[in-house]
Structure 1
């Protein structure tokens, strides 16, 4: 039988309406449990933020190893 895990607010210790948040700041990531009263500032900051978009890697010029080259460009007579 599985046991139910009861989360408690890291600030006040209550278990009413507690949510888990994962916060990344200064290159460190931490998990925080907070009740609605103490999660208010986190949620307000979240609403102010913008969605993080993955920045695609810059493409390098030239041909890849799998490039298709027309036979005319090779200078070979068929």
Structure 2
């Protein structure tokens, strides 16, 4: 799965996704992409369920919440690093 900088780099037409801005695309954790997409687009439970079948299985009972908390903690670290520059 390719990692994009933000959900604005994704284009959905019918059931086909297109990744824009290829020059910054890289392999990454697909759960980070999924949670980032959810934070940007506010996916419905049905959309999350449809996407989750394509993601690796995680041991957590609610991987969406677990990964959201992890990503928010990472955001806080980045913000703190920027303040201390």
For this structure pair, what is the TM-score category when the shorter chain's length is used for normalisation?
A: under 0.3
- TM-score, normalised relative to structure 2: 0.23
| Larger gyration radius, structure 1 or structure 2 | 1
Greater share of helix residues, 1 or 2?
A: 2
- TM-score, normalised relative to structure 1: 0.24
Which structure is higher in RCO with an 8 Å CA cutoff and minimum separation 6? 2
